[in-house]
Amino acid sequence: MKKWLIPVIVIALLALVVYQWGVGFNNTAVEYEADAKTAWSNVESSYQRRNDLIGNLIKTVQGAADFERTTLREVIEARAKATSTTIDASKLTADNMAQFQQAQSGLSGALSKLLVSVERYPELKANQNFLELQSQLEGTENRINIARDRFNEKVNIYDKHTTKFPGKLLASAFGFEEMPRYKADPGSENAPDVNFEFN
């Protein structure tokens, strides 16, 4: 065996190992990124369910009482803004997520105000459709919370994979960037509660 052949074989083996490591890193990052994007789609789906329920709730409220028009209009406008604010899963930036959260928070605030107003309308509080929608809405709020938590878990897995050394070197070379997490709004520890007790 010629002496020059040994270094060539060693270099070829090293190149193969580096190539396989790069391919493995890339494929795993692509998988984790796709999981995070799917989790984001589930967040949006949960919010869409809430928006659909709110539409039915508005119709029930309009039909059951001479309800405060200003409060109802605020909910309708906030719902329109929330449904028009969406994010393409491939463009999950901190700014886009902040806009999305702001629109959803506006809807949550308007909805809370609407539901508090219901207390003055005993006939509406006794309306079976309203009670059913209210129960579904409560369940949907729980789904939204679970979906946001699952999204953050998937983003965490992706971010750890792409930011730990030595993967961080490959991440920037392959164009993988850190993904933003869903963060609580400032003051959300005092968020409005949509659970009601009826006397």
Show the CA angle centred on residue 89, arms to residues 85 and 92, nearest 5°: 75
pTM (global) more than 0.75: yes
Q: Are 75 and 111 in contact (CB under 8 A)?
A: yes
pLDDT for 13-25, tens place per residue? 999 999 999 999 9
- Rounded to the nearest angstrom, the gap between the alpha carbon of residue 33 and the centroid of all alpha carbons in its chain is 14
Token pair recorded at residue 75? 């909910």
Residue 113 and residue 72: Cα distance in Å, rounded?
9
Domains and CATH numbers, the chain: 5-177 (1.20.1440.20)
Amino acid present at 86: T
Q: Residue 65's pLDDT is what?
A: 57
Residue 18 and residue 99: Cα distance in Å, rounded?
41
Identify the band that residue 67 occupies on the pLDDT scale cut at 50, 70 and 90: low
pLDDT for 88-133, tens place per residue? 877 888 888 888 888 898 888 888 888 888 777 777 777 788 888 8
Residue 18 and residue 2: Cα distance in Å, rounded?
25
Residue 148 and residue 136: Cα distance in Å, rounded?
18
Residue 194's CB is within 10 A of a number of other CB atoms, namely: 17
pLDDT for 142-195, tens place per residue? 999 999 999 999 999 999 999 998 888 889 889 899 899 888 766 554 544 544
